[in-house]
Amino acid sequence: MSELKNDRFLKALMRRPVDRTPVWMMRQAGRYLPEYRAVRAQAGDFMSLCKNTELACEVTLQPLERYEMDAAILFSDILTIPDAMGLGLYFETGEGPKFRKPVRTEADIDALEVIDTASDLAYVTDAVTMIRRELNGRVPLIGFSGSPWTLATYMVEGQSSRDFARAKTMLYTQPELMHQLLEKLSLSVIDYLNAQIRAGAQVVQIFDTWGGALSHAAYAEFSLAYMQKIVDGLISHHDGRDVPVILFTKGGGLWLEKMADTGCHALGLDWSTDIAAAKGRVGDRVALQGNMDPAVLRADPAVIESQVESILKGFGAGSGHIFNLGHGITPDINPDHVKVFIDAVHKFSAKY
């Protein structure tokens, strides 16, 4: 593998000194970019794009052609694992992901097999290998997975949900069933992320998108415990380097100390958490990633710049900050505003 020309992101994850705060965006390869929309139209639909190695590589690299980012993130979807388990993933325009065979009963869960990434999801690792080669050491490559709880919510509901009524009903009325499902998912995620690491991912992020929907006690038992199991099961050193792990629970500001206890290297923060307060609580133990509200990108350039500067000032001096949005960029954003955002991080962060 080629030598890394820009390791700012990896250094910040390990809380080592950097010349400026590294920056990337969740969902940086996406519908806000006209060039992405063109390739997606060429592919036909979203999953066809994910499964086409060359096109998945092309869209992963698109934001790096436009902006001075410090990392690339694999173009894929968190629902590849339940799809590989045979649930029949499909997407309806304007409605998000759905499953033809949701998981509702003990028999449904018994029928699920822990995935073998090499045979079930080779298109993902093929994409990782190609992207890493095409990056040629330009920036590090991030691999990722959904958390077991987040994957379980989609599998039980059969689609995205506002209140997770079915998933929470299973959690409270048949907790042993939910634990069985989460156990199979955590073993699948470990296999999946380790396969991505072996294929060339230099960092991995676990997206616990719906952990924040849980109660305090339920979060510890049904989300964090399984992320702990994953952190413990991951390859920690590969290709001559440590492989940092980022945990991101949307709405997880209450549990930062417990998340840091897992042994992860960084915590992703959403915009509801004050970064200065977060640094005061856990900043000497983990790096912090975040955390501008994606909606700020709809504002005028001056507002975007002031919000960037405010977050940098909140984190303050010292290493261990990766600038990011508090969740994924939305499709309606003007690409020129993203440039303002990236440039502002470069402009203001050197002094910190």
Q: Is 29 annotated as a binding residue?
A: yes
Q: Is 201 annotated as a binding residue?
A: no
Query: Is position 271 within any domain?
Result: yes
Query: Is position 193 within any domain?
Result: yes
- 277's CB contacts (< 8 A; 6+ apart) are none
205: alpha, beta or left? (left if phi > 0; alpha if psi -120 to 50): beta
Concerning whether 31 is annotated as a catalytic residue, the answer is: yes
Concerning whether 219 is annotated as a catalytic residue, the answer is: no
Would you state the pLDDT for residue 283?
A: 86
Concerning whether 32 is annotated as a catalytic residue, the answer is: no
Phi first, then psi: give them for residue 308, nearest 5 degrees: -60, -50
Query: Is position 1 within any domain?
Result: no
Q: Is 298 annotated as a binding residue?
A: no
Choose the catalytic residue: 37, 77, 126, 138. 77
Query: Is position 2 within any domain?
Result: no
Concerning whether 132 is annotated as a catalytic residue, the answer is: no
Q: Is 327 annotated as a binding residue?
A: yes
Query: Is position 49 within any domain?
Result: yes
Give the range of the structural domain holding residue 299, as residue numbers without chain letter: 8-349
Query: Is position 3 within any domain?
Result: no
Query: Is position 139 within any domain?
Result: yes
Concerning whether 162 is annotated as a catalytic residue, the answer is: no
Would you state the pLDDT for residue 1?
A: 61
Phi first, then psi: give them for residue 288, nearest 5 degrees: -120, 135
Choose the catalytic residue: 8, 40, 132, 270. 40
Contact between residue 70 and residue 23 where contact means Cβ atoms under 8 Å apart = yes
Choose the catalytic residue: 32, 36, 67, 154. 154
Q: Is 169 annotated as a binding residue?
A: no
Q: Which residue has the tokens 């902006």?
A: 67
Q: Is 27 annotated as a binding residue?
A: yes
How many separate domains does the chain show? Answer: 1
Query: Is position 220 within any domain?
Result: yes
Contact between residue 282 and residue 256 where contact means Cβ atoms under 8 Å apart = yes
- 147's CB contacts (< 8 A; 6+ apart) are 189, 206, 207, 208, 209, 211, 223, 226, 227, 230, 249
Q: The domain that contains 220 carries what CATH number?
A: 3.20.20.210
Would you state the pLDDT for residue 66?
A: 97
Contact between residue 64 and residue 139 where contact means Cβ atoms under 8 Å apart = yes
Would you state the pLDDT for residue 191?
A: 98
Q: Is 209 annotated as a binding residue?
A: yes
Mean pLDDT by 10 residues, the chain (352 residues): 89 97 97 97 93 98 98 97 96 85 97 97 98 98 98 96 96 98 98 98 98 98 98 96 97 98 98 98 95 98 98 96 98 98 97 91
